[in-house]
Structures are given as structure tokens and as C-alpha cells.
Amino acid sequence: MLDGLRVLDLTMWRPGPYATLLLAGMGADVLKVEPPGGEPMRAFGGHFGPLNAGKRGLVLDLKSPEGLARCLELAADADAVVTGFRPGVAERLGLAPERLRAKRAALVTCSLTGYGETGPLSGVPGHDVNYRATAGALPPGGLPPDAVDLPLADMAAAQTAAFAITAACLRASRTGEGTHLDIGLADTLAHWVSTAPPALPSRDGVGPVAGYGVYTCADGLRVALGVVSEEHLWRAVCAALELRHLADEPFAARISRVRELDDAVRQALKGLPGDVALARLEAAGAPASAVLDRAEMLAHPHFQARGVITDAQDGEPRTGGLIPGQAKLSPAPALNQHDGQGWLPRTRA
């Protein structure tokens, strides 16, 4: 879908690389620039490889006249330039958006920073947990220091950036006018939180309605149930768990009697092995899912069938495409693998 779009990737770590990974997955020609010695994320192979699949790569010292000149030359033929520098660093390097667009008016530039390039917090350092905290996006009680959690702010802002870059490039193709996109990681989560109602007070482990939450089976397998207002889904859970005497409880009663009814569901699942519980729930048409860890997710046939996860290489499945039907991504480039190469032709077979 983005075949022929040229994206110069000057980012490191996670937000920028994931944004450009999404663009590469839709066909964009992404040229990744790394500093001498390579991006620090290369030390974490399990991170670098999946985040930089489908890209070509070269090394440039942006602090040298030669490296800066080559970067500006590539930017002059690009459609978008993505950076992940702290506010003010691009200007000090000689890569201010205005300078980049001086030779190509239709160029789209995008910066990804923690709190954005302006505002009272723009100069404050941070990482994912800080942005989530500021945006009101941490769970009640926060996260323990040893929590291994999905970097929500990183991924959310990256997806916002990919969407905004695509929209800006579409506009540029129509008008010949580029633009600068100032994407703040905290901003994305603040926007998400602002569209959701305030969280309900904790009710000691009980969800908002009976049959909604995570439950533990007899063998320790955890099962997620997703019943909300739908009467047929509640009846399906009751049928699967032999709670037919509760099947006709209306939605209002399932809210007012949430603890009593949810305890009945919890006890029924606690008395069944996980595979038996899941088989019964699936057969009844209930909204039930096993709670998987990362390894189990990677091996799940659903995501492999969808192409989200592709064939294993070196014992580790590879990240595929986010949109079904797109071309498979090549492995992440070796350090400076595409030195001396420029952009691919606009029209490719």
C-alpha cells in the first residue's frame, strides 16, 4: 500500500523503530541510519531484530560534516524523515525540520519525544513508566519496580506516528506541502485516557460485572472471560459452567449482585482443569480466552495464520505484518549492510 514511499529513519530504541516498522510492513522503503558502532539496541537482539525488520541500514556519523552532508542528501529525496532526538538536538545537529524541507518542500518530518517538543515538561527526561504515570495510564497502585510490562507509551505513540506520517504524506502528494509532526509519547496516552470514563473504585478483585475478568482454574491455568451486557454471552458461560440457575439474570441484576454471581463463576472455574473449562466455554459460545505468555502467543496458530507471526529463524519466530496480506518483511539489516546505497527506485516490479 505504501510501495515507493521513502522514509529516512534516524531513530533508536523502540518508539521510532516501531513506527517505521509499521510503514515498512506496508511497503515503504525505510532506510535506517545508525551511529558509528551501531544502535545501542543491537545489544538486545530480541528487541532490535523484530523492530527493524524490512528496513535497509547504513552507518552515518551525524556529528561529522561528511555524515551530515550524506544525511541531508538522503533527506532531499525522501518523503518522510523520522527522528527520536531529545528536543533541541536535531537543531544542534543541523537537522532542523526547516532545513530539511529547504530542498524538498513536500517533505514530512516527524519527531517522537517523551513529552513533545513544547510545553512545561518538554525538557524532562523519562521512560515508558513516567509517561504512563503523567498521563494517568498506570493501573491503580502503579507498577512494582520489578514489573515486566508492555511498554504501552512507546507502542501507542509509534502507531500514532505511523498513522500521522501516512496522512501527512497523502496530503503532501496532493498539495506539494510537507509538514512537521510533533508526537509526544505522553500525549498519546493522555488522549486515550481522556476518551475513557474514569475507572471505577476497586471492589477487592471483582470486575465491573459478573463474568468479566481473569479467573484461575484447578490446574493454575488462567482464563479471561469477557461478558458485559450481552445476555446470550452470560447464558453461554452459565451453560458451560453448569450454572443454569443463574442464566436468566438480567444485566441490571448482574451489576447489583456482581460479587455473588462472580463468586459463583470463580468457584466453578476453580473446580475444573483449564483444558476442560476452555473446551466447555468454547463449545457453548462463551467469550473465553486462555491467558498466554509471550512464548505461547508466538506459537499460537491464530497469529501464524494471520501472518502477524511468521516462520521461526534461529529458533525464534519473526514478527510479520500487522495488516494481513502484506508482503513478508526481510530480517533486520546487519550493521552498515547497505552502505553506499541510496533509495530504491520509485517504481518496482
Query: In this structure, is the dihedral angle defined by the CA atoms of residues 22, 87, 91 and 11, taken in order, positive or negative?
Result: negative
Q: Is the pLDDT of residue 141 over 90?
A: no
Q: Is the pLDDT of residue 203 over 60?
A: no
pLDDT at 202: 52
Q: What's the rounded mean pLDDT across residues 5-33?
A: 96
Fold held by 212-291: formyl-coa transferase, domain 3 (3.30.1540)
Percent of the chain, pLDDT > 90? 75
Q: What's the rounded mean pLDDT across residues 294-303?
A: 88
Among 207-211, 243-247, 343-347, top mean pLDDT goes to: 243-247
Kindly report, as residue ranges, where domains of CATH 3.40.50.10540 are found in the chain.
Answer: 6-195+303-319
Please indicate whether residue 318 or residue 193 has the higher confidence score (pLDDT). Answer: 193
* CATH code for the domain defined by 6-195+303-319: 3.40.50.10540
pLDDT at 315: 62
pLDDT at 189: 94
Q: Is the pLDDT of residue 192 over 60?
A: yes
**For 319-349, what is each residue's pLDDT tens digit?**
777 777 776 788 899 999 999 999 999 864 3
pLDDT at 348: 47
Closest CA to 16 of 91, 94, 110, 89: 110
**Residue 150's pLDDT band (cuts 50, 70, 90):** confident
Query: What's the rounded Cα separation, in Å, for the pair 225 and 213?
Result: 6
Q: What's the rounded mean pLDDT across residues 279-285?
A: 97
Q: Is the pLDDT of residue 135 over 60?
A: yes
Kindly report, as residue ranges, where domains of CATH 3.30.1540.10 are found in the chain.
Answer: 212-291
Q: Is the pLDDT of residue 228 over 50?
A: yes
Please indicate whether residue 320 or residue 14 has the higher confidence score (pLDDT). Answer: 14
Q: What's the rounded mean pLDDT across residues 103-123?
A: 96
Please indicate whether residue 249 or residue 46 has the higher confidence score (pLDDT). Answer: 249
Q: What's the rounded mean pLDDT across residues 34-55?
A: 91
pLDDT at 316: 67
